[in-house]
Amino acid sequence: MQVSIEQLLSGLMSKLETMEASLDDIRLKNNVLLRLIKEMSNKEITLTTIQLAVKEELKITKEAGLIEEDQDTSITEKRITDSIYKWLEGDVSDIKEQVNEYRKKLEEAQRQHSGNIDIAPPNFVDTLGNQNKKGKDGKIIL
């Protein structure tokens, strides 16, 4: 079965868009559930309670083998804790700042990797080989 590059890229983009939509759906559901838990909780959700929950989750993740045993998770723990706390408190300015920072990183990555991809026709190597046989001083590098 032969697949053109356009078909391959189209299929990959379709899968990527589907994954992005699924991720957005999961994020929305997660956010709604956390807000419900916050509203229905008898206890106040504080920075300390969030930190304990994050610490426990990272410990379980390590024990399950999803994080290397010797990996230090203290920085990750603090970042996740702060992010969740600011989100639950409705710190819109921080959320906007994170979104803008993410967009800048994405644009920078796109600028670094932008360029044309040149694709040789199927008979390109044969053509180069034929030119070399005719006595031309070309080199083929594979």
Percent of the chain with pLDDT strictly greater than 90 = 6
pLDDT tens sequence across 59-102: 888 888 888 888 888 888 898 898 888 888 888 888 788 888 88
- Average pLDDT (41-54) is 85
Pair 61, 67: CB distance under 8 Å: yes
Reference 84, options 43, 49, 41; nearest CA is 49
Q: Is the pTM of this model over 0.85?
A: no
Measured from the Cβ of residue 83, the count of other Cβ atoms closer than 10 Å reads: 16
* pLDDT at residue 103 tops 80: yes
C-beta separation of 128 from 138 below 8 A: yes
pLDDT of residue 106: 83
Q: What are the pLDDT digits (tens) for 11-24?
A: 899 999 999 989 88
